[in-house]
Each structure stands twice: as structure tokens, then as C-alpha cells.
Structure 1
Amino acid sequence: MSQSLAVIFNKAPYGTQSGRELLDIALMAAAFDMDISALFIDDGVYQLLENQQPDILNMKNHSPTFKALELYGIETVLISQEDLSQRSLSEAQLLKVAKVSSSNHINQVIRRSDFVFML
């Protein structure tokens, strides 16, 4: 039985490299046949916004790489409904890679995971 890993994106996509690094960790772990959950909470919900323009900040846009999660077999991709609402965001503004879920359900996924990464 493979072990499970929850990768928690909780920071905005630019200003730090944590989003890109967590994405790399998730994709690498998937290569080792781990059961990966990508979870977007707090300001991490901004990671999945469509039409980001980080080139204004002289940064590379890593958000299109989130579309590769499914290709790597990462099927559990959840985004917090409560955190979206608190930031006045809607599902229509996001990349179509995550399922909107309650914080309670996301917390259950975290508790069931063998390993948890959050930067």
C-alpha cells in the first residue's frame, strides 16, 4: 500500500518560491507512486487564479503547471470554499484543476495523510 502525502498551498503565488517548490514536491512524489493530495487554503487559493501576470514582477508564471497534476496521477486537488469566499473569489475565476471543498473535508484529508508538506 502506498503512503499518502498532503501538500498544502497556503501562500500567495508570488513573493516567495513556496508555491513553485510545493508544486515540484508534489510532482516528484507522484513519480514515486505516492497518493498525493494538493490542498489550497488561506492565501494559497490565489495559486489557482486564471490569467496571472507575474511577468510584471519579472517572475515566471508557474500556475499553468498545475494543469499537469492530473497527468501525474494527482487526483485529489481541493480548494477551500471558505477561503475563496473570504477573498471574494469564485470558482469561475480559477484554473479548472481543483474541486471546491469545505475546510472540514480538507482537514480530514490532512489527518488521514502519512506525510504533510507546507512551506
Structure 2
Amino acid sequence: MDSILVLLNKAPYGRENALGALYVVIACLDKEFDADILLLDDGVYAALDNQNSESTINYPNIAELMYSIFPQGKIFVHINSLIQRGLDYPDLIDIVEIVDDNALYEIVKSKSNVITI
């Protein structure tokens, strides 16, 4: 079976990247592909807990959409990207898996397809 990793490195609001990345993963899982998402750089903001985008900017809550992926797909968050942005694990939704550079390398290497959005 093909395996797919979607890399999201853009902030969740102001662009369609985060929403598009989640829909790609959801569609792949629906077709029974092994699909996960990796949040790095500004993409880590997509996993912040307690987002209020629906009432403030009338946009779907990206963090809530992540629950559509779990548990079939994994949501990886790059620890160095968190640290660089002053964030920590307690700031995030509870279904993410924190990964360091070595784990990130192994995850990317294990997938047959990698899509950056």
C-alpha cells in the first residue's frame, strides 16, 4: 500500500494551505492509504488548542479538523519549530505526536510519497 506524508509549513489562517493539507490527508485515508501529516515551521500553529477562528474570522477551526484524521492517521509536530515559536506541548491539541529531527527524518524516509503544502 502507498504511504503518504503531507508536510504543512504554513500558518493555518490567511491561506488555504492548512485546510487543503487536511483535506488531502482525509481523502487519502478515505481511500485507505496510509496517510499522516507533519506540522513544521509556521504549520505548528495549526495544532494549537482552543482556536476560535469560527467566531472571529468565520473560518473552520483547523485544530478541530485534525480530529478527522486521528486515529487512522498521525499528526506529527516538529519540536524545534515549536521551540522557535515559544510554544510547548501543553499548548497543543492532545492527539499530536511531538518529533525531533531524527524522528522527522525517519518518518519522511518511511513514506513512499511526500507532499508539501
Q: Same fold (TM over 0.5)?
A: yes
* Number of residue pairs the alignment of both structures matches: 116
Residues 69-107 of structure 1: CA deviation (Å, up to 9, x unaligned):
124x11x32111111111110100101111111022112
Structure 2 match to 1:16: 15
The structure 1 segments of at least 4 consecutive aligned residues displaced by more than 6 Å after TM superposition are none
Task: Work out the CA distance in 1 between the residues paired with 2:60 and 2:96.
Answer: 22
Q: Does 1:26 align with 2:10?
A: no
> Match for 1:98 among 96, 103, 115?
96
Q: Does 1:113 align with 2:95?
A: no
Instruction: Say which SS state the counterpart of residue 67 (structure 2) adopts.
Output: helix
Which consecutive unaligned segments of at least 5 residues does structure 2 have? none
Structure 1 match to 2:56: 56
Which consecutive unaligned segments of at least 5 residues does structure 1 have? none
Task: Work out the CA distance in 2 between the residues paired with 1:7 and 1:41.
Answer: 11
Residues 30-61 of structure 1: CA deviation (Å, up to 9, x unaligned):
11221112111111100000111223233232
RMSD: 1.4
TM-score normalized by the length of structure 2: 0.90
- Are 2:47 and 2:62, in contact at CA under 8 Å, matched by a contact in 1? no
Identical amino acids, percent of aligned pairs: 24
